[in-house]
Structure 1
Amino acid sequence: MKHAPFIAVEGPIGAGKTTLATMLAEELQLPIVKEIVEENPFIDKFYQSMDDWSFQLEMFFLCNRYKQLKETANEFTEKGKPVVSDYHIYKNLIFSERTLKGIERDKYRQIYHVLTDDLPKPNLIIYIKADLNTLLKRIAKRGRAFEEGIDQGYLQQLIEDYDAAMAELADSPSKPHIITIDGNAVDFVENQEHYEEISSQIKELMI
């Protein structure tokens, strides 16, 4: 890899992004950027009424992630220092394209590009791909109250949206290297060999 790695771990809700990102950051002794989720003041209301609270929810996430990535650029990527993140800023478009409609979606797209077009983009993405049953089990296991009763149709659509998004990112100007993990078969938490297979791929790219 020509430049210091900016590693992003991505996947649908419940895929295990933060867990894997944390494990990699600890082993590789890299700083980690974690997205703010539970601190979003609109998240409970969103899951109760997506149509009423989508714009507020998405704007909160966008502004916080923008701030995080500006700080990441100043402290790490612009200085050639590697870093791990448990999200790619592109996820904002993945979610907003599904939750927003009409004028609100158009406005959001404009704001997204104004804020993010000059932000550093990950050059290595670890994409955890998993089916609906796997995600539901992991969501139930972590026990976030606001995710109880999450709409399965919404989650299934996100699975499909993530597949499409990864294909788009692969052809994007930044052309990141994408490692896809089968989250249905690979358990990087309980199976050390599974985790080591993932970390060894990343180490080879960092040489």
Structure 2
Amino acid sequence: MNKAPFIAVEGPIGAGKTTLASMLSQELGFPMINEIVEDNPYLDKFYDNIEEWSFQLEMFFLCHRYKQLEDTDRDYFKKGQPVLSDYHIYKNVIFAERTLHGQQLEKYKQIYHLLTDDLPKPNIIIYIKASLPTLLHRIEKRGRPFERKIEKKYLEQLITDYDTAIRELQQRDPDLTVLTIDGDHEDFVMSKTDFERIARQVKELIK
């Protein structure tokens, strides 16, 4: 790999992105960009009324992630240092296309491209694929009150949206490497063997 590794762990809500990213950050000794979810003041309102609060929610996430990546570019990428993140900036588009419509969506995409087109993009994505029962189980287990309001239909659609988005990212960037993890059968939290297997695969990719 020519550039310093920029690894993003991705997957639908409840896939275990932050957990796996934290474990890999410790294993590899890479600094981690940690997505801030619960600090978004619009989350509760959003799950109560998606149509009313979706634009505010998505703009808050976009601006926050933009600032994180701008800081990371200055502090790490420009110095050639590797970084691990528990999200890819493109996730903003995945969620916006599900919650925004018409002019709002067009305006959002224009702002997204203005902010992110010149930001560094991950050269490795660890994609955690997981079925609806697995996502629901993990969401219930971590006990975030606002996530209990998420409809099953919304989660099912996100699973499909993520599959499509990962394919599109690969098609656009021939240098992007995607490592897909079976989140239904690989329990990287409870099984040391599963985690070590994933860590070995990642280490091979960044050699």
TM-superposed deviation, 1:174: 6.1
TM-superposed deviation, 1:99: 0.4
Q: Secondary structure at the match of 1:125?
A: strand
Question: Which letter maps to 2:111?
Answer: I
* 2:144 paired residue number: 144
Q: Secondary structure at the match of 1:7?
A: strand
Question: Which letter maps to 2:14?
Answer: G
* 2:133 paired residue number: 133
Is this contact kept in 1: 2:40–2:61, CA < 8 A?
Answer: yes
Superimposed CA distance per residue, residues 147-179 of structure 1 (whole angstroms, 9 cap, x where no aligned partner) = 113100000000000000000011113631000
Structure 2: runs of 5+ lacking an equivalent:
none
Q: Secondary structure at the match of 1:45?
A: helix
Question: 1: CA distance between counterparts of 2:125 and 2:13?
Answer: 16
How is 1:177-192 mapped onto 2 (pairs within 5 angstroms)? 177-192=177-192
Q: Secondary structure at the match of 1:160?
A: helix
TM-superposed deviation, 1:206: 1.7
Question: 2: CA distance between counterparts of 1:143 and 1:174?
Answer: 39
* 1:116 paired residue number: 116
Question: 2: CA distance between counterparts of 1:205 and 1:159?
Answer: 25
Q: Secondary structure at the match of 2:39?
A: coil
Q: Secondary structure at the match of 2:40?
A: coil
Superimposed CA distance per residue, residues 40-85 of structure 1 (whole angstroms, 9 cap, x where no aligned partner) = 0000000000000000000000000000000111111121100100
Q: Which runs of 4+ in 1 moved over 3 A?
A: none
TM-superposed deviation, 1:138: 0.2
Is this contact kept in 2: 1:169–1:175, CA < 8 A?
Answer: no
Question: Which letter maps to 1:31?
Answer: P
Matching of residue 195 in structure 1 with residue 192 in structure 2: no
Q: Secondary structure at the match of 2:87?
A: coil
Superimposed CA distance per residue, residues 6-44 of structure 1 (whole angstroms, 9 cap, x where no aligned partner) = 000000000000000000001111100011100000000
Question: 2: CA distance between counterparts of 1:87 and 1:185?
Answer: 22
Question: Which letter maps to 1:163?
Answer: D
Is this contact kept in 1: 2:127–2:178, CA < 8 A?
Answer: yes
Between the aligned residues of both structures, percent identity stands at 62
* 2:10 paired residue number: 10
Question: 2: CA distance between counterparts of 1:47 and 1:175?
Answer: 37
Task: Give the RMSD, CA atoms, in angstroms.
Answer: 0.8
Q: Secondary structure at the match of 1:181?
A: strand
* 2:39 paired residue number: 39
* 2:204 paired residue number: 204
Is this contact kept in 1: 2:32–2:84, CA < 8 A?
Answer: yes
* 2:64 paired residue number: 64
TM value normalised by structure 2: 0.98
Question: 1: CA distance between counterparts of 2:23 and 2:43?
Answer: 26
* 2:73 paired residue number: 73
Q: Secondary structure at the match of 1:148?
A: helix
